[in-house]
């Protein structure tokens, strides 16, 4: 657990964090479902799309098994459009 609780003196658990998210969303007029998991997923996805190596994302999320990190990542159109063919290079694909 990462964040100390000002109410109990202990640490916040996932239930407390999600309650905070839901209350904050309601105050902001957001009607869609929100959770800390959605933020975690977005964080991992944005890192991946910006080119961060999956091993670093795995470490930041605290995953021991790489398969746990794969759940957070998806292949987006932005990622696919960033792939360049070797034939687009001036050398025409020759090494």
Is a pLDDT exceeding 80 seen at residue 76? no
- Cβ burial, residue 63 (10 Å; 0-12/13-18/19+): middle
Average pLDDT for the chain:
79
**Helix intervals (H) in 32-72:** 36-49, 54-61, 66-70
Identify the pLDDT of residue 49: 81
Q: What separation in angstroms does the CA of 85 have from each of 88, 91, 94?
A: 5, 12, 12
Percent of the chain with pLDDT over 90: 8
Is a pLDDT exceeding 70 seen at residue 75? no
**Predicted TM-score (pTM) above 0.75:** no
State the Cα torsion 48-51-55-61 to the nearest 10°: -40
- Cβ burial, residue 72 (10 Å; 0-12/13-18/19+): buried
Summarised one tens digit per residue, pLDDT across range 19-54 is: 888 899 999 998 888 888 888 888 888 888 888 888
CB 52 within 8 A of CB 73: no
The domain spans of the chain are 1-33, 35-95
**pLDDT grade for 68, boundaries at 50, 70 and 90:** confident
**pLDDT grade for 1, boundaries at 50, 70 and 90:** very low
């Amino acid at each position: 657990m990462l964040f100390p609780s000002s109410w109990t003196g202990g640490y916040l658990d996932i239930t407390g964090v999600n309650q905070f998210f839901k209350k904050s969303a309601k105050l902001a007029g957001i009607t869609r479902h929100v959770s800390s998991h959605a933020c975690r997923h977005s964080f991992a996805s944005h890192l991946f799309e910006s080119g961060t190596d999956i091993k670093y994302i795995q470490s930041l999320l605290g995953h021991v098994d790489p398969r746990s990190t794969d759940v957070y990542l998806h292949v987006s159109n932005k990622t696919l459009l960033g792939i360049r063919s070797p034939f687009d290079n001036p050398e025409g694909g020759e090494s």
